[in-house]
Amino acid sequence: MPTLTPSDIQSFVQQQPITLLYFKGDNCTVCQALGPKLRALSEALAVPMLTINMPDNLHLAATEMVLSVPVVKLYVEGREVAKEGAYLQVPQLEARIQQWQAALR
């Protein structure tokens, strides 16, 4: 996975009205279970998702305030509106995205 810069992330979250960032680790079993669910959600709701492998991007830990994995961040119009960790409930994230999609129509 490529090394990213803070400007790469900023550029990504400003590409679309709603975006997701998924921070994961190589040896994280929760990350391995959550990844496919998030990809399916991203595809189903047509919300772009950037997956960031933290071991390759440790320099982003402080700037993104990600001190453990997994972390999912929801951005709306370039602004972070939600941040969830290992106890993320995918149905709740889906409902939150759908609320934002309805509000932006």
Asked if residues 56 and 3 have their Cβ atoms less than 8 Å apart, the reply is: yes
**Tens-of-pLDDT digits for all 105 residues of the chain?**
578 999 999 999 999 999 999 999 999 999 999 999 999 999 999 999 999 999 999 999 889 999 999 999 999 999 999 999 989 999 999 999 999 999 999
Q: What angle do CA 94, 97, 99 make, to 5 degrees?
A: 110
Architecture of domain 6-104: 3-Layer(aba) Sandwich (3.40)
In the chain, where are the structural domains located?
6-104
Residues β-bridged to residue 24: 53
Flag whether the pTM goes above 0.85: yes
User: DSSP of 3-50, one letter per residue?
Assistant: ---HHHHHHHHTTSSEEEEEEE-TT-HHHHHHHHHHHHHHHHHT--EE
